[in-house]
């Protein structure tokens, strides 16, 4: 089993992706997957009915890449996707599979994809679009199962802390696995490094104590009304430990629905941008050149150029938040809305300045 990890707030966040089962599963893994967590007996939530109705919408994805292979999960949705609004170019009444980018692109490179449905039917699949920044991807089966059932998408905005939820997927390669728990928190921001060295940004993520194990990536997080509210993407554990300890994160429907629709329409995603190409001012550089901590501007386009930011400026805050890394900039841009005005503080020739930058949209 292989997992990318990073420390976030004292825990290790691991991309929930299984590289295959070698020599069978350890006894502890089987126990963890077949025993119910404390949140399984959830008052007012008929978990068996949820599982029975939703499992036909959840698939297992087997991916063989140029340098790596593995298994993950995916969820069948039908266009137009609920909550996505009107996206020009999206065909009506067609089924697609939403999953994570790290599932279809082991080591950062897309591989050959095969879909296995809950009824055992298998088909080759085609990549429709991917967005490594938010760890989302869309694929379509070349020969879909006649028993596949597209899932209804629910509103993340309706979720409350303590609400029961159910996670479905293929952890450790075990297809059609179901775990349950509650919403532990909403609107989390989590950085997750990928095996290619890049960073995925989970924005507005749903946190749950439903077990999210390697292989759950791309699977469904649903409410008790059997609506898809999240795409399971990462699990967390104390440093040095593996498996699920009750900290899982899912990409919310408020994000995956519009982004998946855009990928279906165009094959890609246009993110909000400030038009900045920057590099981190390290502590060593700050001491050597007398610069403040922040982001050194290497190049400007569009919004930043219009605001008269220039190469050589050092940005210290954006929207009142200190910025120290390219990841900080990416996270702020993902939270922004094109047309918004954002105050940017920076230094130039030893002096401090502030400008307003109108958020644009990347080409």
pLDDT in tens, 20-71: 333 333 333 333 343 344 334 466 799 999 999 999 999 999 999 887 888 9
Asked if pLDDT for residue 130 goes beyond 50, the answer is: yes
Contacts 24+ apart (CB under 8 A), 26-32: 28/243, 29/172, 29/243, 32/211, 32/213, 32/243, 32/244
Q: What is the Cα–Cα distance from 32 to 267, expressed in whole angstroms? A: 38
Provide the residue range defining the domain that includes 186: 5-266
Answer for the pair 43, 233: CB distance below 8 angstroms, yes or no.
no
The more confidently predicted of residues 264 and 89 is 264
Check 57, 62, 102, 244 and give the catalytic one.
102
The two tokens of residue 351 are: 């002096």
Mean pLDDT of 225-246: 79
Last residue of a domain, one of 241, 266, 291: 266
Q: Which residue has the higher pLDDT, 185 or 85?
A: 185
The span from the CA of 6 to the CA of 267, in Å, is 29
Instruction: Indicate whether 93 and 226 sit together in one domain.
Output: yes
pLDDT at res. 85: 76
Q: Is the pLDDT of residue 216 over 50?
A: yes
Are the CB atoms for 61 and 173 separated by under 8 Å?
no
pLDDT-based confidence at 84, cuts 50/70/90?
confident
248 and 311 co-located in one domain: no
Please tell me which residue, 42 or 93, carries the higher pLDDT value.
Answer: 93
User: Rounded to whole angstroms, how far apart are CA atoms 20 and 357?
Assistant: 47
CB 70 within 8 A of CB 171: no
Residue whose structure tokens are 């059609």: 176
Report the range of poorest mean pLDDT among 72-76, 129-133, 171-175, 179-183: 171-175
What is the three-class DSSP state of 219?
coil
Q: What is the mean pLDDT of residues 284-305?
A: 94
Whether residues 218 and 276 share a domain: the answer is no
Domain boundary among 233, 266, 299: 266
| 243, 283: one domain | no
Query: pLDDT tier at 110 (50, 70, 90 boundaries)?
Result: very high
Out of 184, 211, 217, 233, pick the active-site residue: 217
Paired with 125 in beta bridges are: 113, 141
**Mean pLDDT computed over every residue of the chain:** 86
Q: Please report the pLDDT score of residue 43 as a whole number.
A: 65
Q: In CATH, what number is assigned to the domain containing residue 29?
A: 2.40.10.120
135 is catalytic: yes
My answer on whether 276 and 245 are in the same domain is no
Between 171 and 103, where is the model more confident?
A: 103
The yes-or-no verdict on residue 227 having pLDDT over 90 is: yes
Same domain, 229 and 295: no
Instruction: Please tell me the total count of domains within the chain.
Output: 2
- In this structure, the answer to whether residues 151 and 77 fall within a common structural domain is yes
CB 115 within 8 A of CB 123: yes
Return the ∠ at Cα 316 (arms to 313 and 321), rounded to 5°. 145
Query: Whole-angstrom Cα distance, residue 192 to residue 14?
Result: 7
Distances (CA, A) of 76 to 126, 319, 327, 335, 343: 14, 38, 31, 27, 41
Q: Kindly state the average pLDDT of the residues 84-93.
A: 87
Residues 303 and 221 in one domain: no
> Residues 277, 262: one domain?
no
| C-alpha–C-alpha distance, residues 98 and 257, integer Å | 9
Which one of the listed residues 135, 209, 313, 328 is annotated catalytic? Answer: 135
Q: What is the pLDDT of residue 171?
A: 86
Of 249, 266, 283, the domain-final residue: 266
Q: Band of the pLDDT at 14, cuts 50, 70, 90?
A: low
Between CA 131 and CA 260 the distance in angstroms is 9
Quick check: helix, strand or coil at residue 279?
Answer: strand
How many Cβ atoms are within 10 Å of 167's Cβ, its own excluded?
28
Say whether both 208 and 250 belong to one domain.
yes
335's tokens: 């939270």
Distances 211 to 29, 214, 215, 228, 254 between C-alpha atoms, Å: 12, 10, 11, 17, 22
> Parallel, antiparallel, or unpaired: how do β-strands 227-237 and 152-153 relate?
parallel
Where does residue 44 fall: left (phi above 0), alpha (psi -120 to 50 degrees), or beta otherwise?
A: left
Q: What percent of the chain has pLDDT over 90?
A: 68
| CATH number of the structural domain spanning residue 339 | 2.30.42.10
Q: Residue 73 in contact with residue 21, Cβ under 8 Å?
A: no
């Amino acid at each position: 089993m292989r997992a990318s990890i990073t420390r976030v707030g004292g825990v290790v966040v691991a991309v929930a992706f299984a590289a295959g089962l070698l020599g069978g599963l350890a006894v502890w893994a089987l126990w963890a997957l077949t025993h119910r967590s404390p949140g399984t007996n959830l008052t007012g939530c008929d978990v068996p009915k949820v599982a029975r109705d939703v499992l036909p919408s959840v698939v297992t994805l087997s991916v063989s890449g140029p340098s790596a292979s593995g298994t993950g999960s995916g969820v069948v949705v039908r266009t137009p996707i609920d909550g996505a609004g009107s996206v020009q170019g999206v065909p009506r009444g067609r089924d697609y599979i939403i999953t994570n980018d790290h599932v279809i692109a082991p080591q950062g490179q897309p591989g050959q994809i095969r879909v296995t449905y809950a009824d055992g039917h298998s088909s080759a699949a085609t990549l429709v679009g991917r967005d490594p920044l938010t760890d989302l991807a869309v694929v379509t089966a070349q020969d879909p199962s006649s028993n596949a059932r597209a899932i209804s998408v629910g509103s993340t905005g309706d979720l409350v802390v303590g609400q029961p939820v159910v996670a479905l997927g293929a952890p450790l390669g075990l297809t059609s696995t179901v775990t349950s728990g509650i919403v532990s928190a909403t609107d989390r921001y989590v950085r997750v490094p990928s095996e290619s060295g890049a960073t995925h940004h989970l924005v507005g993520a749903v946190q749950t104590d439903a077990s999210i194990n390697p292989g759950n990536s791309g699977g469904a997080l649903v409410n008790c009304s059997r609506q898809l509210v999240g795409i399971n993407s990462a699990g967390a554990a104390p440093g040095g430990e593996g498996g699920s300890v009750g900290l899982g994160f899912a990409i919310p429907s408020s994000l995956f629905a519009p982004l998946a629709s855009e990928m279906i329409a165009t094959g890609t995603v246009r993110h909000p941008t400030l038009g900045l190409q920057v590099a981190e001012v390290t502590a060593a550089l700050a001491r050597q050149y007398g610069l403040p901590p922040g982001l050194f501007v290497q190049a400007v386009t569009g919004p930043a150029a219009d605001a008269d930011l220039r190469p050589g400026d050092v940005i210290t805050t954006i929207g009142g938040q200190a910025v120290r890394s390219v990841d900080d900039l990416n996270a702020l841009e993902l939270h922004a809305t094109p047309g918004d005005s954002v105050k940017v503080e920076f230094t130039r020739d030893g002096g401090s300045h502030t400008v307003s930058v109108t958020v644009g949209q990347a080409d």
